[in-house]
């Protein structure tokens, strides 16, 4: 996984980052910070095709896991388009082998029912397209 990539960040990944990690730069929009951190970790070779922590789930085709350089317990879950050298940060995980998660899973699970992006993932895109 050598060479540079263009990094984009989903709204869901930005929200997870705000909930669990928080910005070190104090900016309102965390997407540039996430893109920078993923790009630096990618360049440093902190990329794997295998889910971290012995996760039972098989990795989806094109999924790569990028471990943050700043906070080594944070793993960015990305979709990699090798042909166009693009990386889309979909979400992030906290590797609980290094320390307990900052936010207990029961709190984030409780939010799933009210999160429109999870209930209907294509809704925002369709609304923008149709307006």
pLDDT in tens, 4-63: 899 999 999 998 888 877 767 666 788 999 999 999 999 999 999 888 765 556 566 778
- Residue ranges making up the domain that contains 33: 6-100
Is residue 40 assigned to a domain?
yes
How far does Cα 77 stand from its chain's mean position?
4
Is residue 11 assigned to a domain?
yes
Is residue 25 assigned to a domain?
yes
pTM for the model: 0.70
CATH number of the structural domain spanning residue 51: 3.30.2310
Is residue 131 assigned to a domain?
no
Is residue 35 assigned to a domain?
yes
């Amino acid at each position: 996984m050598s060479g540079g990539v263009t990094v984009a960040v989903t709204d869901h990944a930005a929200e997870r980052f705000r909930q669990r990690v928080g910005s070190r730069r104090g900016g309102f929009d965390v997407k540039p910070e996430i893109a920078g951190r993923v790009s630096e970790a990618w360049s440093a070779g902190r990329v794997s095709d295998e889910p971290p922590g012995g996760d039972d789930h098989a990795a989806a085709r094109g999924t790569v896991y990028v471990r943050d350089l700043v906070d080594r317990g944070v793993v960015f879950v990305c979709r990699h388009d090798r042909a166009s050298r693009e990386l889309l940060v979909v979400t992030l995980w906290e590797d609980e082998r290094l320390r307990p998660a900052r936010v207990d899973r029961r709190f984030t699970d409780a939010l799933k029912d009210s999160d429109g992006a999870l209930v209907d993932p294509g809704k925002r895109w369709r609304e923008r397209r149709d307006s």
